[in-house]
Amino acid sequence: MTLTTQFITMLAMIGMGSVFGAALDTYNKFLKRSRRKSWIVFINDILFWIVQGLVIFYILFNVNKGELRFYIFVALLCGFAAYQSLFKGLYLHLLEIVISIIISTYRFFVKMFQFVIYKPIRGIILAVISLLLMINKGLFALLKLLNRIIIFICKLVLLPFKWILLLLWRFLPKRFKNSVERFYHKLAGICRHIKNYLIKWISILRKKYKK
């Protein structure tokens, strides 16, 4: 390994030590250990160290083909110590600013979505539903009115026929009237029997359906 390669390797490892310090602070910032379960923290820690090890080895492989020397670990510690003493406060301050900007941007877009898309569409849908309900009520009221008018007209048209039938009924013989009344009572009894039978079977079917 040449002196140039060794020098570049040391600079790269010092840089990676600082990057590792920044990554560790970022990781702790987002992990929030006190709010997580211990097994989740354990798994995340293992994954974090594996990722950091792979990244450092990748950089080392590109710089000196992956050759390990004692000074590489010293350079990593020097980079980490330099970050802790010189750049940690500035980095955490910048990290807070970036997080605040991202959160503010996210909230802005959420509010824009609510005011520009969600609330107008929701208002249009509610207005259409209200309009349909009003139209439905109006049509129902109109149908009731038409039904009453038709019933009134039918009664008015059939009234003369009713008077004529009542007049003819008075002049019919008693024997015929009695026969008609008996037939009427029989027919009413049959209708009541059919109605009771249907009610009975409907109640049986409802009980079976509920089970």
DSSP 59-124: HHHHHHTT---HHHHHHHHHHHHHIIIIIHHHHHHHHHHHHHHHHHHHHHHHHHHIIIIIHHHHHH
Q: What is the mean pLDDT of the chain?
A: 83
Instruction: Say yes or no to pLDDT of 164 above 60.
Output: yes
What is the rounded average pLDDT of the residues 144-169?
A: 79
Instruction: Say yes or no to pLDDT of 199 above 90.
Output: no
Lowest mean pLDDT among 44-58, 65-79, 105-119: 65-79
pLDDT on residue 141:
85
The better pLDDT of the pair 206, 147 is held by 147
Q: Would residue 38 count as lying in a domain?
A: yes
Full residue range of the structural domain in which residue 52 is found? 3-117
Q: Would residue 193 count as lying in a domain?
A: yes
SS3 for 173?
A: coil
Instruction: Say yes or no to pLDDT of 56 above 90.
Output: no
Instruction: Say yes or no to pLDDT of 161 above 80.
Output: no
pLDDT on residue 102:
92
Last residue of a domain, one of 117, 142, 160: 117
Q: Would residue 140 count as lying in a domain?
A: no
Q: Would residue 126 count as lying in a domain?
A: no
Q: Would residue 190 count as lying in a domain?
A: yes
Dist. CA 11–CA 73, nearest whole Å: 12
Instruction: Say yes or no to pLDDT of 21 above 80.
Output: yes
Q: Would residue 164 count as lying in a domain?
A: no
Query: Residue 189: pLDDT band by 50, 70, 90 thresholds?
Result: confident
If asked whether residues 188 and 111 sit together in one domain, one would say no
pTM: 0.55
Query: Residue 108: pLDDT band by 50, 70, 90 thresholds?
Result: very high
What is the rounded average pLDDT of the residues 170-198?
A: 77
Residue 84 · residue 21 · CB < 8 Å: yes
What is the rounded average pLDDT of the residues 49-59?
A: 87
Q: Would residue 134 count as lying in a domain?
A: no
Percent of the chain past pLDDT 90, that is, above it, reads 12
Instruction: Say yes or no to pLDDT of 50 above 80.
Output: yes
Q: Would residue 141 count as lying in a domain?
A: no
**Domains: count for the chain:** 2
